[in-house]
Structure 1
Amino acid sequence: MASATPKEIARELPPLLRVYTDGTVERLLGSPIVPPSLEDPETLVSSKDVVISENPSVLARLFLPKLKNNHQKEKLPILVYFHGGAFCLESAFSFLHHRYLNIVASEANALVVSVEYRLAPEHPLPGAYEDSWEALKWVTSPDSDPWLVNHGDFSRFYIGGDTSGANIAHNVLLRVGDEEGLGGVRIAGAVLAFPLFWGSEPVLSEAVEGHEESSAMQVWKFVYPDAPRGIDNPLINPLSSGAPSLANLASRRMLVFVAEKDDLRERGVWYCDAVKESGWQGDIQLVRVQGEEHCFQIYHPHTHNSKAVIRSIASFLV
């Protein structure tokens, strides 16, 4: 019996994924999809999946902590969360983010909405940004979901994300500031964990040698190959020429995390400095975590440093 002809690779983004000439996509990294749970045994948080839009397909997983004394009128802060994964991996339904947001929802006693946006390369950018904007409008609409209507405190409304999801959160803040399209709901604060920003020129102490071949550069070229101005598109480089003013960020509080061993560390510091110098009227807090890699709190949420990050987020969502 003749062996099958090996599929031919059309393009790839090592070590993340491959695209074959027949159009199939093979993701080499990422955690498995897991179902929602009525009551997580570790955190007692309940979760469920909802449809935000069918065309395009935008979904979300909602996390509701156990109500105190079964108090059905208890109101909780809301965190709309955009997962990371370089715009092409992971999911609101994947094990890593499901486990992490169960813990965050429990620790913060907050109602979390984890957005399932479409991924590249099947859906290149800017699709994820549009999906995330539609999700935010849905959450703030009066006919969203009974959990949000009955238990969401929209005076304590937050957004956040990790890595590419933190990038999405930043761009959502700018869009809200420009469009005022959330039905009067104001964003109380934003949590950006190890945000994905980059540009054609190194900043602060970033290495000059190898800058063009950096992983951030390769990711952006792969997920948004037709991006106007490439890596200096304002979506990835918030200080590029013609980018919207950071003074328009639609929040008065921000919490930004950077990690010592993360290649994106200097960009996070640079971003915080730029926000402070922009004329933005708010408070931005930079948390530097020593000895840790990129997004360590997602992979290992029970370590000392991860617990400290989660406690910081919980304290922020007041």
Structure 2
Amino acid sequence: MNIAFFSTQKYELPFFEQSTRDHRDIKITYFEQALSEQTAILANGFDAICIFVNDTVNATVIEQLASQGINTILLRCAGFNNVDLPAAKAHNLKVLRVPAYSPEAVAEHCIALMLTLSRKTHKAYNRVREDNFDLNGLLGFNLHNKTVGIVGCGKIGLALCNILNGFGANVLVCDPYAQPGNYTITDIDTLLSQSDVISLHCPLTEQTHHLINDEAFSKMKTGVMLINTSRGALLNSKACISALKTKKLGYLGLDVYEQESELFFKNHSDEINQDDIFSRLVSFKNVLVTGHQGFFTQEALTEIANTTLLNALEVNEGRPLTNEVL
């Protein structure tokens, strides 16, 4: 199987090269370019493509891929909302993903965002480097005894529940498929109204698009902390800005952003940011943004590479497909 690997980052190469070292029947060609209508031609002559979260796989791209002989789409991530599944089905393209590479990695990143925002360690770090040891403006709060609402209790949400139980937090969960555990299962309105901290861990669907909007903010406590490490479009960014301005939203931690495909995973330090909404968001002192690095651990990258290789081998050898989306 010859695989065209799009949106290649140099940090991925050692993990995929190690994973494929003993499999001569799998050949990967790495492209730095993201997959799009303009770059799909690069896949000509390959059997499969391997893509990440911000590659564009719409109906036009899929039609072009199919005409070039592509029969498989390998996602090296869990989410697949960037793939037009009906179009893939119409062209008989297999779609496989990495369903769970390290739930703990993302859950621990959530905790890092929570603690950084609540204890203001990022501000303290900068102060101390300038010999400023003044504590004024750094007052934080305990996670112990706070109510933390988790929207979506899959593997990542469950991992976060386990960590929060160690902090002594009161954990609420809203998920139609949640099983009983060391948390309280409740409805979304109750979670929004009772939580001091809210963390989002649900997939992006038509039902969850802009789940957090003006109406949702109106139900929340004043000064609530909101964390999103799932998909950017779960939040209405303009609604977040309004909530920050009125102080309804006291803390915002983001590892994802609705229009991140134009920003994340690239160095734009020598450019002028053209995204006015993003610029406004990061201008607030109580907003912390990381560039989709929640998954970014050695353990997660190893699992991503190994599972992607497994998916490729199963297709290549005609075996049952463990991680098939379509």
Larger Rg: 2
Q: TM-score, normalised by structure 1?
A: 0.28
Q: Which protein is richer in strand relative to its size?
A: 1
TM-score by length of 2: 0.28
Could you say which structure has the higher helix fraction? 2
Which protein has greater RCO, CA pairs closer than 8 Å, 6+ apart? Answer: 2
